[in-house]
Structure 1
């Protein structure tokens, strides 16, 4: 039953992680709330992938909340660099 709602929790954690990343790295970014959610979700996925690669997380285990925020900061930084070059 918990797996049925996992997508919902990814969105909730992504929203919160993205919002915190935006507070840590304020600036004018296009996209608003939707992009913030996507950046947070991508950050959580990035943190989980990197954590598994270095052995911090086991298979099937997601990234922690702080790791999701760090991942969202990384994604936000990359996002800004790509937009700046345009």
Structure 2
């Protein structure tokens, strides 16, 4: 169980970092939020890939779940940075 938690944290870190590299510009987001968004995206990407799309578990690197996870993390980071950016602006 502890091994699985550590594995998901590592996968979330990788997915979050890859998502930040894919997004253009600078994101004002910390590493903890990056990891948390990455973990959620990795879980959702795995669920979508294996349960909804029926990706076959053939023993190699799972490119489809990884791509879906990175795309979801990029969307999550974009939404997160967009939502925290709106609160700090003042309108005249």
Distance 1:24 1:54 in 2: 25
- Runs (4+) of structure 1 exceeding 3 A deviation are 48-58
With normalisation by structure 2, the TM-score equals: 0.67
Residues matched between the structures, number: 80
Distance 1:48 1:57 in 2: 9
| Structure 1 position 57, deviation (Å) | 5.3
Structure 2, gaps ≥5 residues long: 57-63, 88-92
Could you say which structure has the larger radius of gyration?
2
Distance 1:70 1:28 in 2: 16
Distance 1:9 1:48 in 2: 13
The answer to whether the Cα contact below 8 Å between 2:15 and 2:70 also exists between their aligned partners in 1 is yes
| Structure 1 position 22, deviation (Å) | 0.8
The answer to whether the Cα contact below 8 Å between 1:43 and 1:69 also exists between their aligned partners in 2 is yes
**Cα-Cα RMSD:** 2.6
With normalisation by structure 1, the TM-score equals: 0.70
